[in-house]
A and B are shown apart, each in its own frame.
Chain A
Amino acid sequence: MNAVHRDPEAIALGHAALVEMRVIAPSLVFASILTDDGFELTHAPDSAIDGGRFASMTSSVQALSEAVTRELHIGASEYVVIASSAGHVLQMRIPGQPLILAALFDTHEMLGKALSTSRRCAELLSTQLRNL
């Protein structure tokens, strides 16, 4: 059995979800779907950003945020935001899958819309992967 990041059907579904996400949110600079342990499934759009590096860092940040959540006993981690002067990164788990969605938006996007767009993508992809 292929690891999920090498499954052509999962990769195709993931890529399509990211492309659709960019249609909804043109301020999306780069988005990636990756495994819990930091292997990239797919990314979009093509970019100078190193997708492998982005996936590894996303995996570490996700795990650290969940460690903080556990230590503080504040329930389940929902999403992580890294806000900076020239853009923000939003990341969250794909429900029911050992996968993470991470998206870099430029500052033209309101954080609320970025969050709703990312959630929509994560939920859509979750449903599609479950039906594979």
Chain B
Amino acid sequence: MAEHVILFAGPMGAGKTTAVQTLSEIEVVSTEAANTERNVVDKPTTTVALDYGEITLDLDDKVRLYGVPGQKRFDFMWAILKERARGLVLLINNDAPDPIGTVLEYLEEFGELVSDGRAVIGVSRSDTAPVPTLDDYSDALFEARPDLFLPIFTVDPRNAAQMTTLLLTLIATVESRTPEGALS
């Protein structure tokens, strides 16, 4: 059985915990703490270490799903988890301040995974914040990293079909970049 370790990264409020919960077929291990700064993002809790879930895509592919904290002050967790990861789902809430700038910052932070294209971008909350558009993201990404092509989707992290499509796209990309296709 091939095992894939996939990270879910992005700013606080992008929907990482929800995405892992939506996809996981086991009860998610979560590390939620009371959110002190509700003036920044108005939600009661925030992830302070990781979320962990699992999904079996077919008989041969088990995917371990790790959500990382969104805040930069927890970047030591990013460093720990990205060493194990073979792919990155970068989620961005379109109603964030400067969402495109935030995406580019995260792509820099997870450079090892991004540089050979083992990443996809999911834009959440585009129903309530229609701009920037996917074309805006593509143009900005091309301008900043013309060497890079990353699939970009609009997603609702609560929607299992959409999240599965995003994940399968990433898995296909990761396998195409790994000679044996088997990852751990």
Contacts and interface: CB of A to CB of B under 8 A. Distances in A.
Interface string B15-35: 000000000000001111111
Contacts of A62: 48
A53 B79 CA distance: 14
A109 interface: no
Nearest to A36: B33
B36 interface: yes
Contact of A60 (B29, B35, B74): B74
A98 B74 CA distance: 18
Contacts of B32: 63
Contacts of A38: 33, 48, 71, 73-74
A56 interface: yes
A5 B77 CA distance: 22
B142 interface: no
Contacts of B48: 36-38, 56, 59-60, 62-63
The number of chain A residues touching the other chain, given as a range, is 20 to 34
Contact of B33 (A3, A4, A52, A59): A59
A56 B76 contact: yes
A49 interface: no
B126 to A, nearest CB: 27
Interface of B: 29-37, 46, 48-50, 69, 71, 73-74, 76-77
Given A37-B37, A38-B71, A64-B50, 19 more contacts: A3-B36, A4-B36, A5-B36, A37-B33, A38-B48, A39-B37, A53-B76, A56-B48, A59-B49, A60-B69, A60-B74, A60-B77, A63-B31, A63-B32, A63-B33, A63-B48, A63-B49, A64-B31, A67-B31
List the 9 closest A-B pairs by CB distance, nearest first: A63-B31, A36-B33, A60-B49, A37-B33, A56-B73, A59-B48, A63-B49, A35-B36, A36-B34
18 contacts: A3-B36, A4-B36, A5-B36, A36-B33, A37-B35, A38-B33, A38-B48, A38-B74, A52-B73, A53-B73, A56-B76, A59-B48, A59-B49, A60-B74, A60-B77, A62-B48, A63-B31, A63-B32
